[in-house]
Structure 1
Amino acid sequence: MMRKQDTRIRILYVDDEANNLLAFQAGFRRFYEIYTATSVAEGLAILNDHEIHVILADQRMPKVTGVEFFSIVRKAHPDPMRILITGYTDLGALVEAINSGEIFRYIKKPWDDLELKTAIQNAYEVYGTRLELKNKIRELERTNDELNRFVYSTSHDLRSPLANILGILNVAKLQSPSEDPTGFYDMIESCVNKMDLFIHKIIEYYKGIRVDNVNEVVDFHTLVNDSISLCNMQNPQLVFETKVDQTAEFHSDSFRLSLVLNNLISNAVKYQRSDEERPKVSITVKADKKEALIFIEDNGVGIIEDHLNKIFQIFFRSTDYRNGLGIGLYIVKEALTRIGGDINVNSEFGKGTRFTLKVPNHNEQEEPEVAETAA
C-alpha cells in the first residue's frame, strides 16, 4: 500500500560529474525536491542541514566510492534510503553492499527514467514505513514506561493500607482472643498477606527491569546466607545444606543475583510436602574466573513434567499446593537474562526439584590467558 505523501520527496544526489547532476535535475525537478553535491563533504553538509529521504550517489568518485560514502553516511544519518548509481559492474562489491545494508538498490548508467523513478518511489515508501515503525516503537516504549511507573507507584501506595488492616486485625484478636468461631479473622489475614506478597512481587519485578545493571564484586557466601535468613522462618523444621566454593573474584549484579536466589530458595521452602519427615534444601555454588554454577535442590512436591517448559511464564502456576502467584520464576528468568545467565530445571512430581543456574563472571580486569610455548 502506497504511503500518502504530504511533502515532496527530498533527494540528495552526490556525483563528481556536474553533467550527471544537471541531467538528473532536468529530468526530475518537477517531481522531487532535489539537492546536489559534487563531493562527499558537500553531501554530508546538506544532510546535516536538511531532512533527506533518498540519497543517490555515483560509485566511481575520486578518493571515495559511492559504497564507501554510504558506509560513512549510514553511521551519522541512518534513516535516508540509499541508491547507488554505477556505470561499472562490480558484482562482488554490489552484493556485499546490499547484504550489509549500505544500499537499498543500484541503478546502472545511463539510467532509465522510469526505472529510476520507480526505485525512488519504492525507497521512499520503505523510508516512510520505517519512520512510522520507529514512531510506533517510541510511543510503545513511552506507554510501557508510564504503565510500569503507574504500577510501581500504585503498589507502593497499596502497602500502607494493607499494613493498617493487619494492624487493626491484630488489635481485634488481642481484644477477643478466643472469639472467632467462623474463622473470619484468619481468612482476612490470609487474604491480606497474599495481596501484600503479590504487591511485593510486582515491586521486585519493576526493580528487576528498571534498575540499571551494576557490575560489582560478589561474595556468594554472603548472598546465600542472606537468602537463607530471609526464607528459613517459613519452615523452622527445614534443613539447609550449603556448599559454596568460590575460587576467584566474581563480578556480577548483586541485586539481581539476590532476586534470583531469594525467589528460588523461597519456592523450595514453600513447596515442601507436609508428610516429609526431613524437609531439606541443598544449595551448591561453584564460582571461578569464568562463571558460577549454582544448584538449588529440594525434596518437595515437584513439578509435573508437562509444566516444566511453562513455569517461567508470568502468572503460570504449576500447582495449587501453596497458592502460588506465578510471578517468582518469571522474575528469576528476567533477572538472569539481564546479567547474561541461564537456568534449567529437572523435577519429578512428588519427589523434588533441582534448578541449575549458569552466571558468567563479568570480571573486565581479567587478563587474557597466554598459551605457554615450549622452550
Structure 2
Amino acid sequence: MSDKIHVLYIDDEDNNLKSFRASLRKDFKIFTAIDAEEGLRIAKEEEIHVVIADQRMPGLTGTEFFEQMIKINPDPIRILLTGYSDIASVIDAINKGEVYRFIDKPWNIEQIKNSIKNAADIFFMRRELKEKTIKLQKLHSEMNQFVYSLSHELRGPLMSISGISKLAKLEISDPNALEYFEMIDTATGKLDDFIYKMLDFYRSTKIDHKITEIHFQEIVNQQMEAYREKFDLTHFKVDVQVNQQIPFFCDEAKIRVILNNLFSNAVQFQKEHGGQKWISLTIDVVEENAIIAVEDNGIGIEERYRAEVFNLFARATQKNVGTGLGLYMVKEAVEQMGGKIDLESEVNEGTTITVTLPSLNKGEF
C-alpha cells in the first residue's frame, strides 16, 4: 500500500473529475467515478480512505450513494459536495449517509485538502482502534483459556500430594515425621487456596456478566457445605438466614465470589483466644435489591486501615493469612454489578460488611 491517502471522488461532470485529479494527484492517490454505480464498484474493489460525492447526480444522489456504500464498505469517511442549500438533503445525508462533513461548490482547493486530511486522520484512528479491539478480544479469550488450564494443571498435582500425605500419616507413628506431613498439608492447603483466589479474581474482574435468576438459599447451602469441608468450623457458631420471597437476577459466579471472600475473611481473621467465635450471614431480598451482610466477632480492623482494605494486595493486619485479594475482589464484583459495599469494624470487637446488589436485566450489560 502507498503512503498516500486514497480518495474516491464521484461526480457526473467529467470536467470536475479531471480538475479534481489534476489539482490533488500530487498529494493523494485519486480514484474517480462518473456515476454512483462505478463509484460503488471502486469502493468495493479498492482500499479507499475518504470518499467525496456530489449531491446532485442523475440516478442516485450523493446521499443515496453513501447509503448504498455503507452496506458494502462502511469504513471510508464520507464528504458531500453541495451546490445549493437544501436542509432536507443535509438531514438525509447525516441520518442515512453518515456524512462526516459538507463542502459547498464550487470547492476551494485548500479547503478540500484540509478536509481530506482531517477525514483520513479519523479513518486511520478508527482502523487502529478496530485492530486493537480485535487483539484485546483475542487476548481476553486466550487469558480465559490460560487461567482455567493453569488452575487445572496446578490443582491436580496438589490434590495428589495432599492425598498421599494423608495416607502416609495413617501409617507413620513417628511424631517428627507426622509434623513434617502436617507442614506439607499446610503448604498445599495455602497453595490450593491461592489458586482458588486467582480463579475468583479472574471471575470478579475479567469475565463478562452472565445474568441468571438467583436462588440464594440453594447457593448458600452449597457454599456452606464447601466451607465446612475447607475450614474447621467446630469452634464457630455460624448463623445463616436467607429471606427471599421474590425473584432476583444477577451474576451467580460473582455472587459466589462475594460470599466466598467475605466468609473466608470472617473465619481467618478471628481472635485466637477470647471465648465463642461466631459468624452471621444474612441475605434479604427486598424490592429490587439483595442485601448481603456478613458479621463476625474477630480481630476487627483499625481505623487507619479501613479506607485501604478494598485496595489490591492491601492487608489490615500483620497476621500471616490471606493474600490481600479478598476484599478487592468483593469490591470489584460489587461495583461491576452496580452495587455498593459498606464496612463497619471495631478492633477486638469484630467486623460487619454489607453488600447491596441491584436486580439486573440481561439487557443492562
The TM-score bracket by the shorter chain reads 0.7 to 0.9
CA shift in 2, pair 1:213/1:182, >3 Å: closer
Structure 1 residues 149 and 304, CA gap change in structure 2 (3 angstroms): farther
User: Could you tell me whether the CA contact under 8 Å between 1:86 and 1:109 is conserved in 2?
Assistant: yes
Question: Which residue in 2 is equivalent to 1:130?
Answer: 126
Residue of structure 2 in register with 1:82 after alignment: 78
Q: CA deviation at 1:218?
A: 1.9
In structure 1, distance between residues paired with 2:75 and 2:225: 54
**Cα 1:161/1:118, change in 2 over 3 Å:** same
Choose which of 332, 341, 344 in structure 2 pairs with 1:344. 341
What's the counterpart of residue 153 of structure 1? Answer: 149
Q: 252, 255, 270: which one pairs with 2:253? A: 255
Structure 2 runs not aligned, ≥5 long: none
Identical counterparts, % of pairs: 37
Q: In structure 1, the residue corresponding to 2:115 is in which secondary structure?
A: helix
1:85 deviates by: 3.3
AA in 1 matched with 2:290:
A
Determine the C-alpha separation between the residues in 2 that align with 1:327 and 1:202. 9
Task: Report if aligned partners of 1:240, 1:280 keep a CA contact under 8 Å in 2.
Answer: yes
Query: Structure 2 matches for 1:45-124, cutoff 5 A?
Result: 46-58=42-54, 77-87=73-83, 102-124=98-120
**Corresponding residue SS for 1:294:** strand
Deviation at 1:54, TM superposition (A): 0.9
TM-superposition CA deviations, 1:294-332 (whole Å, max 9, x none): 222323233344544544444333334251112333443
Q: Could you tell me how far apart the structure 1 residues matched to 2:109 and 2:131 are?
A: 33
The corresponding residue for 2:172 is: 176
> 3-state DSSP class of the match of 1:234?
coil
- 2:77–2:99 CA contact under 8 A, matched in 1: yes
Q: CA–CA distance in 2 between the matches of 1:322 and 1:63?
A: 79
Deviation at 1:94, TM superposition (A): 8.4
Give the corresponding residue for 1:303: 301
Deviations 1:102-152 (A, max 9, x none): 554544432221231233233324423432343234334434533442333
Alignment of 1:1-375 (within 5 A): 6-14=2-10, 20-29=16-25, 31-36=28-33, 38-39=35-36, 46-58=42-54, 77-87=73-83, 102-180=98-176, 183-207=179-203, 213-232=209-228, 233-288=231-286, 290-336=288-334, 340-350=337-347, 351-362=350-361
Quick one: which amino acid aligns to residue 345 of structure 1?
D
Following the alignment from structure 1 to structure 2, what is the Cα–Cα distance between the partners of residues 161 and 80?
Answer: 55
Where do 5+ consecutive residues of structure 1 fail to align? 365-375
Asked whether the 8 Å contact 2:43–2:73 carries over to 1, the reply is yes
Distance 1:205 1:71, change over 3 A: farther
Give the TM-score normalised by structure 1. 0.76
CA–CA distance in structure 1, aligned partners of residues 288 and 332 of structure 2: 21
Tell me how far 1:194 sits from its aligned partner.
0.6
> Using a 3 Å threshold, how does the CA distance of structure 1 residues 42 and 253 change in structure 2: closer, same or farther?
farther
Which deviates more from structure 2 when the two are superposed, residues 77-86 or residues 63-72?
A: 63-72
